[in-house]
Structure 1
Amino acid sequence: MMQTSTKKTIFFLVILTIAAVFAAILSVFLGSTDISWQTVLEALFRPDLTSHQQIAVVELRLPRTIGDLLVGAGLASAGALMQGMTRNPLADSGLLGINAGASFGVALCLAFFSNVTFGLTIFVSFLGAAVSVFLVFGLLLLKHRKLDATRLVLAGLAVSMFLTALTQGISILTNTGQSLTFWSAGGTAGIRMDQLKIAAPVLIAALIAALLLSRQVSLLSLGEEAARSLGLNLNRSRLLTILVVLLLAGTSTALAGPVAFVGLLVPHIVRRIAGGRYEAILPCSMMLGALMMLLADILSRTLNAPTETPVGLIFAVIGVPAFIWISRKEEETDA
């Protein structure tokens, strides 16, 4: 039975990898402006820096495609880690206040800096995400010395609501609501190679760390008593998992804005096919997350070309009905 399950997982992972590679190729060739496939190939293999179309391929489409791969894999992995650690199939990195913290950092940046660069936006949004995680820990450990999954969720929700209220207040008082809304819509259109040189090593290292933690997360998903009986150090494993989630979701959110539903939906889909072992869930989630992000970004460019549709809107249209369906399935399972 285990061998059959492993073969099924490997087959699923291979299919996802092939699909993601094909989607990445499409992402480079398709865009809001029409560029011939010959020009795209020349830009990739014999770039001419005097050609505006080739510059668009090298400096816009290529980093955007790489960004889609990394951000999709990062958000999906972060969601899978959170769901395994909290034993909650409706959990994602937003439970730690990461999205709210990133938005708060960007709101402060827009309010107090007149010329906001993309690099500065990445830095302050990641810093805001980190601050939110430390606030969650501070609130959690104020009265309790151990990391309880239920209290972690409650502390995360409290911090998220608090930071969201502060963000809205700052945007209203400083008239930066339009700029903040543009960033909050989510998307990889603004990603350039300069940002990837900083963010890509962090995300790749965090993805590797997530794979190394997969066995510990599998044990955490069995429950505290079972994990402890199998020799797992609960607090240490949870702390490492949360740090990796911060790196994955914080850096992804800094690059692409708070793209919702990727971390929620992808692990849930994968779990139904690959089973409950996170040694299988995490690599499959990475590839499916990358694939979904690529397809959503291609849609955002081509759906209403030359005007782009926000990626966050596309995921919201897909994610809300899927979230309701997942919730109903969980209720039926509990019943």
Structure 2
Amino acid sequence: MAELADTIRRTAPRQVPWRLVAIWSLAAILACAFLFTGLRGNISFVLNLRLTQLVGMVQVAVAVAVSTVVFQTITNNRILSPSIMGLDALYLFCQTALVFALGGFGYAALDPAWKFGGEVVMMMAASAALFVPMLRRGSEMLMMILTGVVLGLLFRSLSSLLSRLIDPNDFAVLQGASFANFQSLDPALLAAGGAVTVLGTLGAWRARHTLDVVALGREAAVGLGLDWNRTVTAHLLLVACLVASATALVGPLAFLGLLVVAVAERICGTRRHAVLFPAACGVGVVMLVGAQLIGRAGFGGAVVISVIVEFVGGLVFLALLFARRRQ
């Protein structure tokens, strides 16, 4: 609590706006580079395809950034993210179970809108059932981490078992659903996911001052008159909704949220949510669009964007762990 208060006091208010402007200016430059560099062939078709991909990347960046900021606040831990708590593993297990039960052709024939809606509802229900009771009881953070790790291992083990039992041709379909993919986004899903992301982001923004109080800790927040159980439950469901929307749209990105929030906090030097929300969203756009540009220009499009993001995010996660250990 004292560390948070000191950080807020040390932050120079006049420095924050230009840092946010710098982040979003870089994001705009990268977006223009992504849209207009290397245009060949049918320019109208290519621009339309790239614009769809760009909208998807912005949507995922905002959803992941906002959900991670809120999740770290309600858990009072800066090295946690919804993905590390096993939600991505649950998504992969559901995809594997669907391919195992329906086959590759049956899986491909599923209505994308119904599939998207089912995945969002399922992940919200799982989050409510698993983590809300622990947060309400004020369980120790170690217990939450262990629960998330164990559940992640369970879902990954079940996914691995089922993947060994399915037909090799169906396995190729499963592999395509196991990595984040921005190349073939469904415009209908973009609209549905965009609505979920906008509503969730607006809800988090309206609660930014409440989240500042939550960041003080359970005892301090309750002492200031906050209804802890109701607030934590509502925001955990909001996190699950945003994570489910982003994951169902493009696939799992385990370390993206941790990466963008850590970088945004380092740049802005504050945990105030009025600053951290736009900063983390801007850094997320920079990371995703920059990774896509690197993959297209440096590797000829042969490297999946998630590989670059996960590699850098994993390094940041290890750095945060070692930094906390030194403290």
Q: TM-score, normalized by length of structure 1? A: 0.84
- Matched with 2:288 is 293
Gap change, CA 1:144 and 1:238, over 3 Å in 2:
closer
2:99 equivalent to 1:105? no
Gap change, CA 1:65 and 1:142, over 3 Å in 2:
closer
Deviation at 1:71?
Answer: 0.6
Q: Give the residue type in structure 2 aligned to 1:157.
A: V
- Matched with 1:20 is 27
Q: What is the aligned counterpart of 2:82 among 77, 81, 93?
A: 93
More displaced stretch, 71-80 vs 267-276: 267-276
Q: What is the aligned counterpart of 2:182 among 179, 182, 188?
A: 188
2:158 equivalent to 1:166? yes
Q: Give the residue type in structure 2 aligned to 1:202.
A: V
Separation in structure 2 between the aligned mates of residue 212 and residue 153 of structure 1, nearest angstrom? 28
Q: How many residues align?
A: 314
Deviations 1:115-138 (A, max 9, x none): 444974675466346434534543
2:118 equivalent to 1:127? yes
- Matched with 1:46 is none
Deviation at 1:82?
Answer: 1.3
Q: What is the aligned counterpart of 1:279 among 267, 270, 274?
A: 274
Deviations 1:187-207 (A, max 9, x none): 311113232122111111111
Q: Give the residue type in structure 1 aligned to 2:162.
A: I
Deviations 1:285-332 (A, max 9, x none): 111111211111222222222x43111110122122222212111212
Separation in structure 1 between the aligned mates of residue 12 and residue 308 of structure 2, nearest angstrom? 33
Gap change, CA 1:144 and 1:330, over 3 Å in 2:
closer
More displaced stretch, 7-16 vs 153-162: 153-162
- Matched with 1:84 is 73
Deviation at 1:4?
Answer: 6.2
- Matched with 1:328 is 322
Gap change, CA 1:182 and 1:143, over 3 Å in 2:
closer
- Matched with 2:4 is none
- Of the two structures, which has the highest relative contact order with CA contacts closer than 8 Å and spacing of 6 or more? 2
- Matched with 1:35 is 39
Separation in structure 2 between the aligned mates of residue 25 and residue 166 of structure 1, nearest angstrom? 42
Deviations 1:57-77 (A, max 9, x none): 21x211001111111121122
Q: Answer whether contact 1:76 1:286 (CA < 8 A) is retained.
A: yes
More displaced stretch, 112-121 vs 228-237: 112-121
Separation in structure 2 between the aligned mates of residue 92 and residue 170 of structure 1, nearest angstrom? 27
Deviation at 1:81?
Answer: 1.3
Gap change, CA 1:223 and 1:74, over 3 Å in 2:
same
Trace 1:56-75 onto structure 2 (pairs within 5 A): 56-58=46-48, 60-75=49-64
Gaps of 5+ in 2: 1-7
- Matched with 1:138 is 129
- Matched with 2:5 is none
SS at match of 1:5: coil
Trace 1:180-259 onto structure 2 (pairs within 5 A): 180-259=174-253
Gaps of 5+ in 1: 37-50
SS at match of 2:254: coil
The RMSD of aligned alpha carbons is 2.7
Q: Answer whether contact 2:68 2:258 (CA < 8 A) is retained.
A: yes
